[in-house]
Structure 1
Amino acid sequence: MHIFDRLKQMLHGLNSPDPQNAATATGTPNVTATTSDQAPMVNHTEALILVHHLDATGHELQAPDMIAGYVGDEIHLPAVNITGYHLVNINGLTRWFTKPQAQIVLTYERQAGQPVWAYAYDIDQRQLIGLPTMTRGPLGTAYQVMAPTVAGFKLLRSVGDLTGEYTTTSKTVLFFYRNQNWHQTDLSTGYVQIRQLTPVFPNPGATSTTYLTTLQPGSVYKTYLRVQLNDGDTWYNIGDNQWIPETQVQLTNGNQLLLKLPRGYRTRDAHQVQQTGIVSFVPGKQVHTYLEPYGRYLTTVTHGEKVILTERLVDDNRVVWYRIQNRGYLPGRYLTDLDPADSLF
Structure 2
Amino acid sequence: MENNLLKDNVKKISRDDIEIEVHYIDSNGNKLADSTTLTGHYLDSLKMPWKTIPGYVLSSIQNFQQTFIPNSDGIYLIYFTQMAAPVIVYHRNTKGELISDPQYLTGDLNKSYQAEPLPEARNFLVDYPNDVTGRFSDKVQEYEFIYDTMQMDDFEIEKNLFIQTKNNVPVYEQPAGKQPLSQPLPYDTTWRVFKAVKENYNETVWYNLGGDIWVSANEDIKSFTIKQFSEEKKLLDNPLGAAVTNISFTYSVINSMDINRQVRILFYDYQDITTWETPYGTIINTRYQGGKSVYVKKLLQLDNNSVWAQLDNGNYIESKYLNL
- Structure 1 length normalisation: TM-score? 0.28
- Structure 2 length normalisation: TM-score? 0.30
Bigger proportion of residues as strand: 1
Which one has the largest radius of gyration?
2
